[in-house]
Amino acid sequence: MKYSATVTEAANTVIRDVLAIKKGEQFLILTNPGGDAEEISKALYAAAIEAGIEATLVLQPEKSQLDYANRAALAAFQAEPDACASISANKMGKDRKGLESPWKSSTGRKIDHIFHYLMDEKQSLRAIWTPGITVDMFRRTACIDYQLLQTRCEALCRLLQGAQSVHVTAPGGTDVRVPVTGRTPMSDDGRFTEGGLGGNIPAGEVFISPLPGQSEGTIVFDGSISLTGSDMIVDTPVRVTFSKGFITDISGGREAELLRESLERGKQKARELTAEGKLDAETGAAWERNAIGLGELGIGLNPAAEIRGNMLEDEKAFHTCHFAIGSNYDNDADAAIHLDCLVRNPTIRVHYPDGSSCLVEENGELRI
């Protein structure tokens, strides 16, 4: 089936079906000037205004995941908008003020970004974020059958709930066991209609955070990889060995070297933040260590997504799974980076504490 829409149709779908923004609600759009990000943002802004929504469009220069966001741009969050779209060419950027004076969650966890404070702690904000989106991607992947996607995501989450570990193999050489005892699977299913909910456009993945320091085995990235400033399709597969949850070896061609350089930048950023006093010595050391830790296992479920060298779309593609190196989503292994890398045609088996198991994907084909 071919998926296609105009930018206006895709924008209306996001506002109506994904975020369900109502007349009179505040809608903040944070973007970069020029190019596809601004074009998409202006389409969202126009669609919102047409629907009677109180929309605000804020532009800042393009940021990488190691850069700080503009302080004035983040100040727009002080108005506590009901919904937000971060339509960035790369990333929103770190919160300098939040790193210097973090918020405290109800459990005592430090929150170093106002976006996460409103999303995760106050749960007053619902949002989409689209690092690296293009007009072509937006047109192809935003107007899908969200009900079907949500059904698939719910089924996969049920199978991962209560799991002890996940074993992933693939024709490229991947063979890794990922412990997940006590972890809750998460879903990017395109249903972000209430405060505290959010995810990507394109939507379409189920993901889970490995227990820190426990994954064992080898992952061969043969689809695409994320670097600190860009993504790329892999020509020479990158072979990464994990022991006790951390990388012990990376081998391959030029892609492997680029990944090593990006991981070193992540470690260096942790050292810089410590030297600047934004992280204490213990936290800084943990951030540096976690820059080479396994932070995520995700499974792609968007039928319109393709592998095109843009991880925002690649990680949602059918017949793939992805692993992230760096920070996780359970907030117990923070890092300055989170680099998603893709595996083609995986076989994924979920194991449970009673010794039983369930095959959820075989050679890239869903079995749920």
All residues at 6 or more sequence positions from 16 whose CB lies less than 8 Å from its CB, including other chains: 51
Question: Given a cut of 70, is residue 98 above it in pLDDT?
Answer: yes
Buried b (16+ CB within 10 A) or exposed e, 2-27: ebebebeebbbbbbebbbebeeebbb
- State whether 127 and 164 are in the same domain: no
| Burial call 30-39: b when 16+ CB within 10 Å, e when fewer | bbbeeebbbe
Residue 182 falls inside a structural domain: yes
Helix ranges (H only) for the chain are 7-13, 35-50, 71-75, 96-100, 114-116, 135-141, 146-160, 254-275, 281-290, 311-314
Average pLDDT, stretch 90-117? 95
- Is residue 122 classed as helix, strand or coil in its secondary structure? coil
**Pair 118, 168 in one domain:** no
Nearest to 247 by CA among 349, 146, 337: 337
Q: Is residue 306 part of a domain?
A: yes
Strand partners, 317: 302
CATH of the domain at 43: 3.40.50
Is 81 in the same domain as 113?
Answer: yes
7-35: pLDDT as tens digits: 999 999 999 999 999 999 999 999 999 99
- How far is the C-alpha of 24 from the C-alpha of 97, rounded, in Å? 30
The residue out of 111, 136, 161 marking a domain boundary is: 136
Same domain, yes or no, for 249 and 346?
yes
| Residue 210 scores a pLDDT above 90 | yes
Mark which of 136, 163, 180 sits at the end of a domain: 136
> Is 118 in the same domain as 22?
yes
For residue range 304-347, what is the model confidence (pLDDT) as tens digits?
A: 999 999 999 999 999 999 999 999 999 999 999 999 999 999 99
pLDDT tens digits, 214-255: 999 999 999 999 999 899 999 999 999 999 999 999 999 999
2 has a pLDDT exceeding 90:
no
Half-sphere exposure of 280 (CA within 13 A, CB side): 5
Do residues 263 and 122 share a domain? no
pTM across the whole model: 0.90
Is a pLDDT exceeding 60 seen at residue 59? yes
Please state, in angstroms and rounded to a whole number, the distance separating the CA atoms of residues 105 and 76: 21
Q: How far apart are CA 222 and CA 171, in angstroms?
A: 10
Is residue 150 scored above 60 in pLDDT? yes
* Tokens at 307, concatenated: 């592998």
**Are 108 and 149 in a shared domain?**
no
Q: Which residue has the tokens 């918020």?
A: 103
Q: Please give the Cα distance from 322 to 166 (Å, whole number).
A: 13
SS3 content of the chain, % helix, strand, coil (to 5): 30, 30, 40
Sign of dihedral through CA atoms 272, 276, 279, 280? positive
What does DSSP assign to residue 118? Answer: I
Contact by Cβ (8 Å): 208, 182: no
- Considering the domain architecture, whether residues 24 and 60 belong to the same structural domain is answered as yes
Could you give the CA distance from residue 86 to residue 64 in angstroms, rounded to a whole number?
A: 13
282 domain residue, yes or no: yes
Q: How many domains, in total, are found in the chain?
A: 2
292 & 346 share domain: yes
**Within a domain: residue 33?**
yes
- Residue 295: which of 211, 177, 219, 221 has the closest Cα? 211
Alpha carbons 319 and 92: distance in angstroms, whole number: 29
Is the confidence at residue 3, as pLDDT, over 70?
no
**What confidence score (pLDDT) does residue 341 get?**
98
Helix (H) or strand (E) holding 192: none
Is 2 among the domain residues?
A: no
Give the residue carrying structure tokens 């409103």: 118
Q: Which domain holds residue 126?
A: 7-136
* Residue at 1 is within a domain: no
pLDDT for the residue numbered 229: 85
Round to whole Å and give the CA distance between 250 and 238.
7
* Residue 166 shares a structural domain with residue 308: yes
Which of 85, 112, 136 represents a domain boundary (last residue)? 136
Do residues 154 and 261 share a domain?
A: yes
Query: Residue 114 above 80 pLDDT?
Result: yes
* Cβ atoms within 10 Å of 105's Cβ, excluding its own: 14
In this prediction, residue 188 has a pLDDT band, given cuts at 50, 70 and 90, of very high
**3-class DSSP assignment, residue 351:** strand
Answer yes or no: do 17 and 160 share one domain. no
